[in-house]
């Protein structure tokens, strides 16, 4: 989580206009979910993985680990999709008899599972691209630009900012407790953790009060209005983003567009 955040500020696409990155990631997400599986989503996966590792310069080992995390959740859910239960064993590619029923894999089940994997990986690759190349602050700016409600944006900004303060506070309390043997045994560890959590709540409350005072000192009047820097949009980046986006959309159309969605309502 923190690694993702760090990469978001330190990648080769850092200076690129966030709206361009949102556009590319959004397209990948769209063609993965709405395109004909497994070809279109896998194409999106290849393009986005290439952009993330090759263009933005995220180490491929780290990228694979992130994909593996997504894949892990996916694998856990696959049996429910792929396995069929029926009274007859014919038509199954593989099956076992459980009492009066057969449990096994048939062609549709396997296909559905593969499609699901492809769709998820394609969609996730789009989100990973965005998460790894675009800092949250810039995403918020894009959302503000497109008219996202201010209240939600302010909440997101505060949550994001104070998440780190909370982590830091929790970390230092933990170290202080551990230094005095607070985690020497299971019993002590539970007790210490309970204390840590309760102290965190109190601290969070105090911090909220202090923040309100500090904001008031700078003329806070109910809305956290800020002004972001201006972006220098480069033609080269626009062209690259534009080509990739159009490429993805064209491949989506060529592979039948959203036809299969209508075919299986």
Q: How far apart are CA 49 and CA 163, in angstroms?
A: 28
214 binds other proteins (CB under 8 A): yes
100 binds other proteins (CB under 8 A): no
Beta-bridged to residue 224, according to DSSP, are none
Instruction: Compute the least distance from the CB of residue 230 to other proteins, in Å.
Output: 7
User: Given the complex with other proteins, which of 137 and 251 has the nearer CB atom?
Assistant: 137
Angle CA(123)–CA(124)–CA(128) in degrees, nearest 5?
125
Rounded to 5 degrees, what are φ and ψ at 100? -90, 0
Instruction: Compute the least distance from the CB of residue 142 to other proteins, in Å.
Output: 13
Beta-bridged to residue 104, according to DSSP, are 84, 95
User: Given the complex with other proteins, which of 101 and 220 has the nearer CB atom?
Assistant: 220
Site map (CB under 8 A) of other proteins, residues 159-198, x = contact: -xx--xx---------------------------------
Whether 93 and 110 have beta carbons less than 8 Å apart is answered as yes
User: What counts of helices (H) and strands (E) characterise the chain?
Assistant: 10, 3
Whether 126 and 28 have beta carbons less than 8 Å apart is answered as yes
The DSSP bridge pattern shows strands 92-98 and 83-86 to be unpaired
Q: How far apart are CA 47 and CA 28, in angstroms?
A: 9
Question: Considering only residues 87, 187, 219, 265, which one is a binding residue for other proteins as defined by CB under 8 A?
Answer: 219
User: Given the complex with other proteins, which of 75 and 158 has the nearer CB atom?
Assistant: 158
220 binds other proteins (CB under 8 A): yes
Question: Considering only residues 216, 234, 254, 261, which one is a binding residue for other proteins as defined by CB under 8 A?
Answer: 216
Positions 139 through 158 that interact with other proteins (CB under 8 A): 157-158
Beta-bridged to residue 103, according to DSSP, are 85, 96
User: Element (H or E) spanning 182, and its range?
Assistant: none
231 binds other proteins (CB under 8 A): no
Instruction: Compute the least distance from the CB of residue 1 to other proteins, in Å.
Output: 13
Instruction: Compute the least distance from the CB of residue 49 to other proteins, in Å.
Output: 25
**Interacting residues with other proteins (CB under 8 A):** 5-6, 9, 14, 135-137, 157-158, 160-161, 164-165, 207, 210-211, 213-221, 224-230
């Amino acid at each position: 989580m923190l690694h993702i955040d760090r990469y978001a500020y330190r990648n080769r696409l850092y200076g690129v206009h966030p709206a361009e990155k949102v556009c590319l990631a959004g397209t990948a997400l769209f063609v993965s979910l709405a395109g004909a599986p497994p070809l279109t989503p896998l194409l999106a996966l290849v393009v986005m993985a290439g952009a993330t590792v090759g263009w933005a310069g995220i180490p491929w080992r780290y990228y694979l680990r992130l994909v593996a995390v997504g894949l892990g959740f996916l694998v856990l859910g696959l049996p429910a999709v792929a396995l069929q239960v029926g009274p007859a064993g014919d038509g199954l590619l593989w099956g076992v008899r459980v009492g009066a029923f057969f449990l096994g894999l048939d062609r549709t089940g396997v296909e559905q599972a593969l499609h699901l994997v492809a769709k998820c990986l394609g969609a996730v690759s789009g989100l990973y691209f965005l998460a790894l190349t675009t800092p949250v602050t810039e995403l918020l700016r894009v959302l503000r630009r497109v008219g996202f409600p201010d209240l939600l944006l302010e909440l997101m900004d505060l949550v994001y900012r104070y998440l780190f303060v909370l982590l830091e506070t929790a970390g230092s309390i933990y170290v202080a407790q551990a230094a005095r043997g607070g985690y020497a045994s299971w019993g002590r560890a539970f007790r210490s953790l309970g204390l840590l959590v309760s102290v965190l709540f109190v601290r969070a409350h105090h911090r909220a009060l202090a923040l309100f005072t500090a904001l008031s000192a700078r003329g806070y009047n109910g809305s956290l209005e800020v002004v972001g820097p201006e972006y220098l949009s480069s033609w080269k980046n626009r062209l690259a983003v534009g080509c990739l986006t159009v490429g993805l959309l064209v491949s989506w159309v060529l592979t039948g567009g959203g036809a299969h969605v209508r075919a299986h309502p």
